[in-house]
Amino acid sequence: MKPEAVALVEVVVTQVAGSAPTAVGDSLYLGASGWQGSVGGGAIEEALKARAVACREQGIGAVVQFSLSSEHDQCCGGRVTAIICPVPLVAEPWLQEDAPRLYSWDHRDQPLLMGAWRRGRWHPAAAERIPDPAMPEWPAGLRVGQGGTYFWKRAAMSHPLWLFGAGHVGAAIAAFACRLGYDVSVFDTRPEWNNAERFPAGAARHIAAMPPAEDTNPPPSALVMTHSHGLDFAITTALLARPIDYLGVIGSRTKAALFRKRLRDHGYGDKDLARLHMPMGLPGLGKKPYEVAVAVLAELLQRRQGGVP
C-alpha cells in the first residue's frame, strides 16, 4: 500500500501475557481528527502511537511486542502484542462504531483489515468474500491457519442500564454510566426533568414510567430512584417479574425494611428478596448525588468484572 493511500492507521491489542494495563481487543486509531480510543495509556500507549505514526508515514503495518519492564520504566512485568494496521478511509465508520472486524497477516507481519460485520452482513475492505460463514460467531481472539494469522475483534458486550427516575441522582448516574460503556435508558413521565439538558446525549430518554413488556437480552441492570416511594414500590414489583441482572432501589435502611415487609405481605419470598439491592450501591460513600452515583456504579462495575456474585 502506497503511503498516500493510507488515510488511517489503527492499533489493536491481540495478545496480553501477565499483568498489563490493557486487554485483548483494545484499540485506538489515528484519523483526521486525531487519536480516538485507548490501549491502556501511559508508556505502552505512547510507544504504540509513535510506532503507528511511523508506519502510517511509510504506508506499512507491523506486529509489535511491548514488554512492561524496566526497559520502558514499567514494573508490571507483562507482555503485550499489538498489530498496527493501515486502514482505508471508507472503513472509518467501522472504527467509530467499534463494529466487529477481521484482520489477517502472514509471515511478513503486514496486518490487513479484511472487513467488518455490520447489520448482519460482511463489508469487505480487502477481501471479496467472508473467509468463514461461521465468522460472526467466532470467539474474540487469534486464529492461526494455513493462510496465516487471523484476529477477530468482536463488538463490546452490551450492558443495558435502566434508570427509573430523572432526578438529581439519576442524572449523576447517567453522566458517569454513559462514559463507562453502559447503554443507559431513563424512564420518567416528567419532561421538565427527563430532558436533553439534564442527560448526556448517549442516554435514551423515555417519557414513560416503565419500558415495554417484552424481555430484553442481555438482562439489564435496573436502578429505581423516583420522586415517590409509592412509585418506587410499584416499579420494583413490576421489575421482580422480569429477568433483571441487578435490581437496585435507592433508600434508607428504614425504607428498605418497610419495602421488604410490604413485599412479603404481597407474597414475595426469600428468593425474590435476595434479588433486591436496597439500599443500592457500596455503603458509606455519602449521600450527595455524585457520591451515590460512584457507590452504585462501583458495585455494578464489580459485578461486570466478575468480582461479586
Tens digits of residue pLDDT in 163-187: 999 999 999 999 999 988 899 999 9
Are 91 and 110 part of one and the same domain? yes
* Confidence band, pLDDT 50/70/90 cuts, at residue 217: low
Q: Where are the beta strands (DSSP E) in 112-235?
A: 112-118, 121-124, 141-145, 148-153, 160-164, 183-187, 204-206, 221-224
Are 173 and 286 part of one and the same domain? yes
Are 125 and 20 part of one and the same domain? yes
Are 9 and 149 part of one and the same domain? yes
> What is the rounded distance in angstroms from the CA atom of residue 154 to the CA atom of residue 156?
6
Of the given ranges (7-11, 210-214, 276-280, 301-305), which has the lowest mean pLDDT? 210-214
Number of folded domains in the chain? 2
In a domain, 218, yes or no: yes
Q: In what order do the strands lie in the sheet with 101-105?
A: 121-124, 112-118, 101-105, 148-153, 141-145
Are 165 and 192 part of one and the same domain? yes
Backbone angles phi, psi at 282, to 5 degrees: -70, 140
Are 169 and 146 part of one and the same domain? no
> What is the bridge-based pairing of β-strands 62-67 and 34-38?
unpaired
Which of the listed residues 153, 185, 215 is the one where a domain comes to its end? 153
161-171 as b/e, with b when 16 or more CB fall inside 10 Å?
Answer: bbbbbbbbbbb
**Domain limits at 173?**
160-304
Are 25 and 143 part of one and the same domain? yes
In a domain, 309, yes or no: no
pTM metric for this prediction = 0.67
Which of the listed residues 153, 184, 202 is the one where a domain comes to its end? 153
In a domain, 85, yes or no: yes
Are 119 and 232 part of one and the same domain? no
Most confident residue range from 99-113, 128-142, 204-218, 295-309? 99-113
Are 8 and 148 part of one and the same domain? yes
Are 134 and 83 part of one and the same domain? yes
Which of the listed residues 153, 185, 216 is the one where a domain comes to its end? 153
Arithmetic mean of pLDDT over the chain: 88
CATH number of the domain where residue 288 is located: 3.40.50.720
> What is the rounded distance in angstroms from the CA atom of residue 140 to the CA atom of residue 251?
40
Report the Cα 217 to chain-centroid distance in Å. 15
Report the Cα 184 to chain-centroid distance in Å. 11
Q: What DSSP element (H or E) covers 272?
A: helix 270-274
Are 48 and 107 part of one and the same domain? yes
pLDDT, tens digit, for every residue of 275-289? 999 999 998 899 999
In a domain, 263, yes or no: yes
Are 113 and 64 part of one and the same domain? yes
pLDDT, tens digit, for every residue of 116-138? 998 888 999 877 777 787 888 78
